[in-house]
Amino acid sequence: MSMTQHAEPAVTSPPAPGPKEVDGRTVERPQVLRLLARPEVGVFLGAAAVYVFFLIAAPPVREGASMANILYGSSTIGIMALPVALLMIGGEFDLSAGVAVITSALTAAMLSYQLTMNVWVGVIAALVVSLAIGFLNGWLVVKTGLPSFLITLGSFLILQGVNLAVTKLVTGNVATDDISTMDGFSQAKKVFASSFDVGGVQVKITIVWWLVFAAIATWVLLRTKYGNWIFAVGGNKDSARAVGVPVAFTKISLFMLVGFGAWFIGMHQLFSFNTVQSGEGVGQELIFISAAVIGGCLLTGGAGSAIGPVFGAFMFGMVQQGIVYAGWNPDWFKAFLGVMLLGAVLINLWVQRTATRR
């Protein structure tokens, strides 16, 4: 990029320096309102409200162990919500994210069991498969120009069928065999599904991974070229392409990132439960997408954050477990969950409206 020479404005028509169009739109809003307008702040307040509410309504929540349990539940949603959120900022959906988790776990479990190999072989093969699924989703979306909603609805159904059919074909059952006695299992379990002691409270390692991934995602999104491209391809694909952003690369890699997330959570499920049922995972994709949307990611792309979905997933986990901690009538469970989520989203929306009102 060469710096252009800045010749003195020529005589014919020099642009007059100075603000030309002060029309009220560029007037600074108060600092507080500007802060509130950030998408992650709204969800932070919503999550804080839900947290405080359950602190009061459900005494067991005040204990460290309960918090660790709530965070665990949130982390397994949150780790997937992160790439799903990045993809959403990049303007695309992945409806196959839920079953892709199971596909990954099944691949690892069956490969290492059937071939009697070290489980790490299965783990790496599963990573390759997950990334390949992501690539295929992304490639189809980029090449056909069809809405990713349709493409990934297709892959969602395909994976659902393949999960079941291949598992039955290979194992003769609909669940994989127990791999807990195989070589490398305890090692892999340490990475994906162990827990450690913090002041007498058992904390699951997925919580650590969740926060690490969130930190990396935030840094990438706000501080790197690639992050800039994610916003651009989601905000306006055509102008991004016109200024030289590699749109296809960005989108395909985002889908592959979702594949990576699916692999990680798939490995967590495999190494914490030893076996995988092929019918699981259906419906999870909507939970991931909800966490991202609650976290302030725009459904249409182009805006959002990586930290927002962290709070979104936390809110989801908090409500899910908080209702149980509060000991409410379980018949109403789903209804409570829905009301709380809707309430949280409305608070989020209200905060943003108030903050961005001119």
Partner 1 sequence: MRRNHRAAVFTATVLVGTLFAAGCSSSSGGKKSTEDTSGASAGKATTPRMTVAMVTHAAPGDTFWDLVRKGAQAAAAKDNVKLVYSSDPSAGNQANLVQNAIDQKVDGIALTAAKPDAMKDVVAKAKSAGIPVVGFNSGVSDWKKLGMLEYFGQDENIAGQAFGQRLNKLGAKHALCVIQEQGQVALEARCAGLKKGFSGKTDILYVNGTDMPSVKSTITAKLTQDSSIDQVVTLGAPIALTAIQSLTDSGSKAKLATFDLSKDLVKAVQDGKIEFAVDQQPYLQGYLAVDALWLYKTNGNFSGGSTAPVLTGPAFIDKTNVDSVAKFAANGTR
Partner 2 sequence: MTGKEANTHGAILQDTEPEDGDRPTVQLRNAGKAYGNIRALHGVDLAVRPGQVTCVLGDNGAGKSTLIKIISGLHQHTEGEFLVDGEPVHFTTPRQALDRGIATVYQDLAVVPLMPVWRNFFLGSEMTKGPWPFRRLDIEKMKKTADEELRNMGIVLDNLDQPIGTLSGGQRQCVAIARAVYFGARVLILDEPTAALGVKQSGVVLKYVAAARERGLGVIFITHNPHHAYMVGDHFSVLRLGTMELSAERSEITLEELTNHMAGGTELAALKHELSQVRGLDVDELPDARDLTAL
Q: Which helix (DSSP H) or strand (DSSP E) does residue 195 occupy? A: strand 195-198
Which CB, 25 or 283, lies closer to partner 2?
25
Binding segment toward partner 1, per CB under 8 A, in 33-41, 89-97, 214-222, 276-284: 276-284
Residue 274 binds partner 1 (CB under 8 A): yes
Q: To the nearest whole angstrom, how small is the minimum distance from the Cβ of residue 174 to partner 1?
A: 5
Query: Residue 20 touches which of partner 1, partner 2, none (CB < 5 to 8 A by kind)?
Result: partner 2
Residue 155 binds partner 1 (CB under 8 A): no
Query: Residue 218 touches which of partner 1, partner 2, none (CB < 5 to 8 A by kind)?
Result: none
Residue 210 binds partner 1 (CB under 8 A): no
Residue whose tokens read 């108060």: 30
Query: What tokens were used for 125?
Result: 């093969």
Q: To the nearest whole angstrom, how small is the minimum distance from the Cβ of residue 118 to partner 1?
A: 4
Q: Which of 78, 82, 75 is nearest to 216 (CA)?
A: 82
Residue 65 binds partner 1 (CB under 8 A): yes
Residue 328 main-chain phi, psi, to 5 deg: -75, 160
Which CB, 7 or 172, lies closer to partner 2?
7
Q: Looking at 112, 137, 218, 305, which residue binds partner 1 (CB under 8 A)?
A: 112
Residue 300 binds partner 1 (CB under 8 A): no
Q: Which residues sit at the interface with partner 2, rule CB under 8 A? A: 1-7, 9-10, 12-21, 23, 25-26, 28, 219, 223-225, 227-229, 231-232, 235-236, 238-246, 298, 302-303
Q: Which of 105, 94, 98, 107 is nearest to 138 (CA)?
A: 94
**Which residue(s) pair with 202 in the sheet?**
197
SS (H, E, C) 74-95: HHHHHHHHHHHHHHHHCCCCCC
Which CB, 303 or 337, lies closer to partner 2?
303
SS3 202: strand
Which CB, 47 or 125, lies closer to partner 1?
125
Query: What tokens were used for 216?
Result: 């990396």
Which CB, 267 or 306, lies closer to partner 2?
306
Q: To the nearest whole angstrom, how small is the minimum distance from the Cβ of residue 112 to partner 1?
A: 7
Q: Looking at 281, 296, 304, 312, which residue binds partner 1 (CB under 8 A)?
A: 281
Whole-number Å distance between alpha carbons of 223 and 234 = 17
Q: To the nearest whole angstrom, how small is the minimum distance from the Cβ of residue 52 to partner 1?
A: 18
Query: Residue 197 touches which of partner 2, partner 1, none (CB < 5 to 8 A by kind)?
Result: none
Q: To the nearest whole angstrom, how small is the minimum distance from the Cβ of residue 310 to partner 2?
A: 21
Please return the burial class of 12, using the count of CB atoms within 10 Å of its CB with bins 0-12, 13-18 and 19+.
Answer: exposed
Whole-number Å distance between alpha carbons of 89 and 39 = 12
Residue whose tokens read 């000991």: 327
Q: Looking at 139, 180, 187, 343, which residue binds partner 1 (CB under 8 A)?
A: 180
Query: Residue 202 touches which of partner 2, partner 1, none (CB < 5 to 8 A by kind)?
Result: partner 1
SS3 317: helix
Whole-number Å distance between alpha carbons of 192 and 204 = 9
Residue 149 binds partner 1 (CB under 8 A): no
Please say whether the beta carbons of 81 and 292 come within 8 A. yes
Contacts of 25 (CB under 8 A, 6+ apart): 358
